[in-house]
Amino acid sequence: METLDSLGRPLRDLRISVTDRCNFRCTYCMPREIFGPGFQFLRRDEVLSFEEIAQLARIMVPLGVRKIRLTGGEPLVRRDLELLIAMLSKIPGVEDLTLTTNGSLLAAKAATLKKAGLQRVTVSLDSLDDSVFMAMNDVDFPVARVLEAIDAAAKAGLTPIKVNMVVKRGVNEGSIVDMARHFRSSGHILRFIEYMDVGHTNGWQMKDVITADEIVRAVDGQWPLEPIAPNYPGEVATRWSYRDGAGEIGIIPSVTVPFCGACTRARLSAEGQLYTCLFATKGHDLRELLRSGRSDEEIGAALAAIWHVRDDRYSELRSGETIGLPKVEMSHIGG
């Protein structure tokens, strides 16, 4: 059954944050001055259990969900995550089960995750320059260990691997060409992401955005590119192939070229709040529904009702009127 929102957009993708914790303090996501030693993270009893997450996923598949992505925080800091992956992989109708990670714990867990049923991974890496990357992750984590994790994931068969680079002016735009050079012909897909105004703790300003056009020009100046068609309707990344056949890159231009009109994503936070937009100011409490003894049919009807009235299109409306809104943090719903 296709469940459409008020703008005719179907529900297809479910992004599940399994924890609000992370072992990095990336300056554009969980800046240390906010998420420091005194920050109050969720208590264990506030976080959805694996069984509760799997129950919601099972309920949402008949509403249209076909793709599930596990996020965080850093999802691999959640203990025994492979148990959840095994549950989700057995749900009929789930066609794509994937995970986004900073790579810090991936090398040791890649084979276990694959065996449990994970299909592929996306790894975040913002520069190949250790000084730049360590300054951005703010925990002195080296590039070499992320590259080792990517190799381990490839060996385990968690492919195709996507590598995400958030580009911020004055910070790491000098790494664009180096990243493209490294991942050309690697079999992995490098994706550049415009620096976004998710949440309200990262100090976002438009002047800090390196635009999609600037990124394309930088790479195309070294290795000519040509645009290629999206893999599926609603794909957020614009795709560009190297004319010499050395693979492709993707660019996620959510600031300069909004893709709200084709957005099919719902986001579930670790404590069970459902958000219908990456830039949402409030969620819908599904944990209360789960723990109050409601039937799957009742929860499904509530979910359908939430999606039917969805009219989010923040990126299309982005203006002075949207600055300063108390939006949910990226680290809380996983992007």
d(CA 182, CA 249): 12
Q: Say how many C-beta atoms besides its own lie within 10 A of residue 233's C-beta.
A: 9
Q: Which residue has the higher pLDDT, 56 or 197?
A: 56
pLDDT value at residue 225: 98
Determine the 3-state secondary structure of 69 from DSSP.
strand
pLDDT value at residue 14: 97
CB–CB of 135/142 below 8 Å? Answer: no
d(CA 295, CA 299): 6
Domain boundaries, the chain: 13-333
pLDDT value at residue 158: 98
pLDDT value at residue 280: 80
Reply yes or no on whether the pLDDT at 250 is more than 80. yes
Find the mean pLDDT for residues 89-99. Answer: 98
Reply yes or no on whether the pLDDT at 53 is more than 60. yes
Q: Which residues are within 8 A (CB) of 139 and not within 5 positions of it... i.e. 6 or more apart?
A: 23, 24, 25
Q: What percent of the chain has pLDDT over 70?
A: 92
Going by C-alpha positions, the residue among 132, 146, 221, 229 that lies closest to residue 188 is 146
CB–CB of 271/41 below 8 Å? Answer: no
pLDDT value at residue 319: 46
Burial call 113-141: b when 16+ CB within 10 Å, e when fewer: bbebbbbbbbbbbbbbbeebbeebbbeeb
Side by side, which strands form the sheet with 162-167? Answer: 225-228, 238-242, 248-252, 189-194, 162-167, 120-124, 96-101, 67-71, 13-17, 265-268, 273-275, 284-285
How do residues 56-68 score in pLDDT, each as one tens digit?
Answer: 999 999 999 999 9
- Angle CA 141–146–148, to nearest 5: 125
Determine the 3-state secondary structure of 167 from DSSP.
strand
126-130, 170-174, 182-186, 199-203: which has the minimum mean pLDDT? Answer: 199-203
Q: Which residues are within 8 A (CB) of 86 and not within 5 positions of it... i.e. 6 or more apart?
A: 116, 117
CA 47 to chain centre: 19
Which helix (H) or strand (E) segment holds residue 272: the answer is none
Handedness of CA 67, 281, 135, 137 (dihedral sign): negative
Q: Could you give the maximum distance between any two Cα atoms of the chain, in Å?
A: 59
Could you tell me the pLDDT band of residue 160, with boundaries at 50, 70 and 90?
Answer: very high
The CATH code belonging to domain 13-333 is 3.20.20.70
Which helix (H) or strand (E) segment holds residue 71: the answer is strand 67-71
How do residues 290-308 score in pLDDT, each as one tens digit?
Answer: 999 999 999 999 999 999 9
